Structure 1
Amino acid sequence: MILRALGHRGVVNRGVAVALAAVLVSASPAAASPGWDVVPLQPGSANLVDVTALSAHDVWAAGFAVHHEIIDGRPFARFEPQVQHGDGVTWSAVPTAPLGKDVNAQFTAIAAASPGRIWAVGHVWEPRVQVRSLIEHWNGVTWTRVPADDLPDAGHDLSDVAAVSATDVWAVGTFVKAESSGPVAQHWDGVRWTRVPLPPGLDGAALQAVAAAGPADVWAAGLAVADRESGRTEPLLLHWNGLAWCRIALPDTADRGTALLDAVTVSRGQVWAVGQSTTGGTTDRKPLVFRIDGRGPVLEPTPDEQGQLNGVTTVGREVWAVGYHYDEARNDQAYALRRGPDGTWRRAPVPAREGAALFGVTTERGSGTLWTSGAMTGAGSGQPEPLVARFR
């Protein structure tokens, strides 16, 4: 299993973190907040960690289903990639590429170049085989697994994917070897996936997110090692200018303890990168937001309260970021921030589902409709169930 520092749940990769969130949610549901419509989905233990919306009649969400089993008298959770599609009337699970028996796998992200060109990425692990990148492509009819360009003799986990066009797609994540680890970026040119060199000096770093405004304007975010002795991490932001990746210097976050970025988006010449910082222990997580424009990066002030941010998108002149926080009983609760045209971040409404965790958020193309995804506690079952909600 690939490991990566996240702070709030120990040292785990993003896929495992969202898996744990899906397994650990535990509270009863409540009615949706005004403005949010929770999409009715088929019940079943699952978490939808990312969402993309080409139109109101073509919305996709990806993540994983959780199958609870008893093996040798002990409980065991097996993970299976899951994709759900909304056509404007109903939502249904769409079969993904077969991966074989006794295989655990998760999707961590989904992105669309066009209605018939959609990519989902994550990781897969088989018995006696290292964790490998999982990349699947939707051609309008079926999902097909596409070979990744993984390093030999290394484990790989892809955390996010961004599509510029049918022949220009990026996926980022992390590799782990016996005594080293680092970030990885792979590019699709319409024929094959190829690893692209990253800046030096990123040993122990990880990439969690990627976003693209064009072929020469791609951004990747994650974490880098700030202090090897203490294990403290700092936010990491990289930019692709069409020729090479370079590291962007960010304002210092040492006073915030361990910090990282989990999501990034690009809109109207501005880049927004969000995540979390941890100063007082695993439950004391506070939102972290950077804005990058022509004047350079700025650490934006946010409400001084608990909460981590997993996804970010823009709606006109507003910015929305979603995530979750712990309540007093240590249950996950949906959390969101909204930056208005006046430049101030405030708490935003969320789908009022007790025990909900939000991971993905996107803006429907051609409209101002917001979509979010994650997991919530199923009514009566007490088990985590997939969550998709729409805000108008």
Structure 2
Amino acid sequence: MAVAVRTRLLLLGTVSALVIGGGLPATASAASAASGADASAPRWSAAKLPGGDTVLSGSVRPDAHTTWTAGFRIVDEGDGISFLPVLYTHDDRRDGPWTEVPTAPGAVGRINALAATSARDAWLVGDAGGEGEPVMTEHWDGRSWRVKPAAMPANSIGGGLLGIAALAPDDAWAVGWAQVLDERIPDPDGGPSQIVDHQEGLVQHWDGHAWHRVDLPEPYANWALNGISASGPKDVWAVGSGFGDDDQPVVLHYDGRSWTVLPTPPYGGLYGEFNEVVANGPRDVWAVGRTLLDEKDRGHALIMHWNGRTWTRTDGPADAGALTGAAVTADGIVAVGRTVRGEGGYALRVSGGRVTSLDFPAAEGTTYSPWKVSTAGREVAVSGTLRYPRQSFPQPMLLTTRL
């Protein structure tokens, strides 16, 4: 159905949407209206990043004075485009520029997510290679980045990892999806074979030596996982969406022994999905994404909270579209997404059941596209892209503010 197709484009296209999804030019009035602008909202500062046709898919602090932001560079090869991993770093004690640092030798493809437990333990995860090839994750040991392959399911013809949660050097979780081949039907006229396949959620666990794919319950015949968060080794949450006649949000939980599928939360829409999860503990979990109110709806912001017993929905602004990133604050979360009409990005704060705007930047003719958000104390960092008029590819965007 049409909605299922749109859902697949958002979930499985993931960060690629920032490459091809320019949308309409943002205006200050459009972005402010989408988030319910507040005159007391904080100011944003833009990082002075090296140039390049680059998408940023996240940021993290490996120590108290260092910030990393990572993503991928878009390479125009004439007959198509390819992706190269990109990592920028900055010493927050200095006012100097951000610098690009090399990742693992020979690494190619997109970086979709990153995580760090310390300056000697960090991860970059992205897409799988060709048919049957593993996901080439990268690990930082304090001296260099090294490739650590994560095997895909048998008969996989595509897929990748979209989120990662690192707890310790011997305990990290990553989630994503796999496109699995079911059958090839030869063309009797000698043309290309017809491919019959399905998509399934993917969870990988790092034990300090290797990645291991985890067997999971199957909530849908076709489904994917987009985000993961862990408050501890016995409290890990993963979220995504099922695909079918009635696309529904998916929530999985790991209690230290096994993964289980939780009942679908009452998300208040015709269809829905979760794109990110933030776990502060077994009784304090936030999940964000989008809900579709009817067949023609592009999707509205979906914000839900788990208190250990039930899910409660918090309404977002009327013109707030899909939320793609969220991060914890001292009294709730911050989250980012795009307007319902795709006019620009927005950022909001949820605290005490109240949603307030963070007055995300907007400028005539420039499209800001936030993708993920991270927090460190009172500081908020939003990564994604910005697109100037008449540019073929987006440019890297990292904006920071203080709550």
Shorter-chain TM-score range: 0.7 to 0.9
Aligned counterpart, 2:347: 336
Q: What runs of 5+ residues in structure 2 fail to find an aligned partner?
A: 32-40, 183-197
**CA distance 1:68–1:111, shift in 2 (3 Å):** same
Q: Percent identity?
A: 29
Query: Which residue, out of 46, 63, 67, partners 1:59?
Result: 67
- Is 59-68 or 6-15 further displaced after alignment? 6-15
1:356 and 2:353 aligned: no
Aligned counterpart, 1:116: 120
1:214 and 2:232 aligned: yes
Q: Name the TM-score, length of structure 2 as normaliser.
A: 0.83
- The amino acid across from 1:358 in the alignment is P
- Any conservation in 2 of the 1:107–1:123 contact (CA below 8 Å)? yes
Aligned pairs for 1:235-384 (under 5 A) are 235-253=249-267, 256-267=269-280, 269-280=283-294, 284-325=298-339, 327=341, 331=343, 333-341=344-352, 343-352=353-362, 354-364=366-376, 367-378=377-388, 381=391, 383-384=393-394
Q: Name the TM-score, length of structure 1 as normaliser.
A: 0.85
Aligned counterpart, 2:103: 96
Distance apart, 1:107 and its partner CA: 1.0
Distance apart, 1:30 and its partner CA: 8.7
**CA distance 1:131–1:9, shift in 2 (3 Å):** farther
- Any conservation in 1 of the 2:59–2:383 contact (CA below 8 Å)? yes
How many residues of Structure 1 are paired with residues of Structure 2 in the alignment?
368
- The amino acid across from 1:16 in the alignment is G
* Aligned counterparts of 1:21 and 1:215: Cα–Cα separation in 2: 33
Query: Which residue, out of 167, 170, 174, partners 2:173?
Result: 170
* Alignment deviations for residues 205-255 of structure 1 (CA, whole Å, 9 cap, x no partner): 111000010010110000124xx3x3x3111111110000111223334x5
**CA distance 1:272–1:9, shift in 2 (3 Å):** same
1:159 and 2:171 aligned: no
* Aligned counterparts of 1:133 and 1:188: Cα–Cα separation in 2: 13
* Aligned counterparts of 2:53 and 2:280: Cα–Cα separation in 1: 35
**CA distance 1:282–1:79, shift in 2 (3 Å):** farther
* Aligned counterparts of 1:99 and 1:7: Cα–Cα separation in 2: 36
* Aligned counterparts of 1:34 and 1:301: Cα–Cα separation in 2: 22
**CA distance 1:281–1:202, shift in 2 (3 Å):** closer
1:107 and 2:111 aligned: yes
**CA distance 1:61–1:7, shift in 2 (3 Å):** farther
- The amino acid across from 1:265 in the alignment is V
Query: Which residue, out of 141, 144, 148, partners 2:143?
Result: 141
* Aligned counterparts of 1:290 and 1:191: Cα–Cα separation in 2: 36
* Aligned counterparts of 2:24 and 2:218: Cα–Cα separation in 1: 45
Determine helix, strand or coil for the equivalent of 2:18.
Answer: helix
* Aligned counterparts of 2:396 and 2:302: Cα–Cα separation in 1: 26
- The amino acid across from 2:378 in the alignment is G
Distance apart, 1:288 and its partner CA: 0.6
* Aligned counterparts of 1:297 and 1:283: Cα–Cα separation in 2: 23
Determine helix, strand or coil for the equivalent of 2:14.
Answer: helix
- Any conservation in 1 of the 2:248–2:264 contact (CA below 8 Å)? no
**CA distance 1:38–1:164, shift in 2 (3 Å):** same
Determine helix, strand or coil for the equivalent of 1:205.
Answer: strand
- The amino acid across from 1:259 in the alignment is G
* Aligned counterparts of 2:256 and 2:327: Cα–Cα separation in 1: 23
* Aligned counterparts of 2:116 and 2:3: Cα–Cα separation in 1: 27
- Is 214-223 or 346-355 further displaced after alignment? 346-355
**CA distance 1:250–1:153, shift in 2 (3 Å):** closer
Determine helix, strand or coil for the equivalent of 1:11.
Answer: helix
1:47 and 2:55 aligned: yes
